[in-house]
């Protein structure tokens, strides 16, 4: 947060996170605050006393070794597993949001790839109450095509079967699904694991542009430290609990990151290692 002199004028009012992101408070989505979140298992903890905050207009990257609890944290946020502690959401005015809309893009979608389900079959039920087995109404198809356009995909994908999509096409379809209705918070769990390097960069460019356009907070789980440095605005190093969090430059230059991943920062910058 920036500290401003009382006499100075800010076009963003009191919202310093908006000042950082360069956005208009009127269009802002929520901020999320996690306090003391703990997830237990029979013989110990998966997560213990996790506290984090992500504000609108930010991309917070969660990094850590395999088994550190990154995906578990997202499941807790989604309400899919029991936990103790609190997760709260507020508007840019500081008003509580009881039921935020959360968009989620998983690492992969497990489904029968021989199924005849098309992209239209997948997207349209989220856009209309009209039963999918009766076909698709023109309005729903047009809206589905428009959403695909927002994520850089062709409306021609609507006729393709889900099982025939490439890794990049599937992740764009999943992102399109996550963006309707427009979420207050977007969760991305290793969203580019099935993409090549070019597809990965295109996807992250897309997420960055969506974040700037809609001012929603983005929580990103990633092993790719090079892309975290390039696209995230803040980062948190997780290993059951938060070891370190802050601006992405500060976290990524920490000796803790080098210790956890076992690769010096200078080597990571040279090779763009995927960890």
Interval 103-135: pLDDT, tens? 999 988 888 999 999 999 999 988 887 776 777
- Structure tokens that stand for 143 in this block: 């809206």
Tell me: cis bond preceding 36? Omega within 30 of 0 counts. no
Structure confidence at residue 211 as a pLDDT band (50, 70, 90) = confident
For residue 9, pLDDT over 90 is answered with no
pTM of the model: 0.81
On the CB side of 128, how many CA atoms lie within 13 Å of its CA? 20
- First-to-final CA distance of the chain: 30
pLDDT at 8 over 70: no
Token pair 């950082």 is found at: 20
Q: Is the pLDDT of residue 222 over 70?
A: yes
What's the pLDDT tens digit per position in 173-197?
999 999 888 889 999 999 887 777 7
Higher-pLDDT residue of 14, 87: 87
Residue 18 confidence (pLDDT) above 70: no
Q: Which residue has the higher pLDDT, 42 or 22?
A: 42
The number of residues making up the chain comes to 275
Tokens, residue 183? 């979420």
pLDDT attached to residue 267: 53
Higher pLDDT, 63 or 205: 63
pLDDT at 28 > cutoff 90: no
Q: CB neighbours (10 Å) of residue 261?
A: 18
Residue 238, helix vs strand vs coil: strand
Residues 221 and 71: beta-carbon distance below 8 Å: yes
Sheet hosting strand 44-54, strand order edge to edge: 44-54, 31-41, 84-90
Asked if the model's pLDDT at residue 266 lies above 60, the reply is no
- pLDDT tier for residue 16 given thresholds of 50, 70 and 90: very low
* pLDDT score for 270: 53
């Amino acid at each position: 947060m920036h500290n401003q002199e009382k006499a100075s004028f800010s076009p963003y009012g009191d919202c310093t996170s908006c000042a950082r992101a360069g956005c208009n408070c009127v269009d802002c989505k929520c901020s999320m605050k996690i306090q003391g979140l703990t997830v237990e298992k029979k013989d110990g903890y998966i997560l213990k006393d996790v506290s984090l905050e992500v504000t609108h207009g930010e991309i917070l990257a969660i990094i850590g070794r395999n088994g550190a609890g990154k995906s578990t944290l997202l499941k807790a946020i989604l309400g899919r597993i029991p936990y103790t502690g609190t997760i709260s959401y507020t508007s840019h005015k500081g008003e509580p949001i009881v039921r935020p809309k959360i968009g989620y893009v998983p690492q992969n979608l497990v489904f029968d790839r021989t199924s005849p389900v098309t992209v239209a079959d997948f997207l349209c039920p989220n856009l209309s109450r009209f039963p999918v087995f009766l076909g698709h109404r023109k309005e729903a198809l047009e809206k589905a095509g428009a959403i695909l356009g927002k994520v850089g995909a062709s409306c021609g994908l609507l006729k393709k079967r889900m099982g025939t999509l490439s890794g990049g096409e599937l992740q764009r379809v999943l992102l399109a699904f996550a963006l309707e209705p427009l979420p207050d918070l977007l969760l991305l769990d290793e969203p580019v694991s099935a993409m090549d390097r070019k597809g990965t960069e295109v996807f992250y460019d897309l997420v960055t542009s969506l974040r700037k356009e809609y001012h929603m907070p983005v929580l990103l789980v990633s092993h790719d430290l090079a892309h975290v440095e390039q696209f995230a605005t803040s980062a948190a190093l997780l290993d059951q609990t938060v070891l370190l969090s802050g601006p992405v430059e500060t976290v990524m230059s920490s000796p803790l990151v080098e210790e956890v991943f076992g690769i010096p920062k200078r080597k990571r910058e040279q090779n763009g290692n995927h960890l």
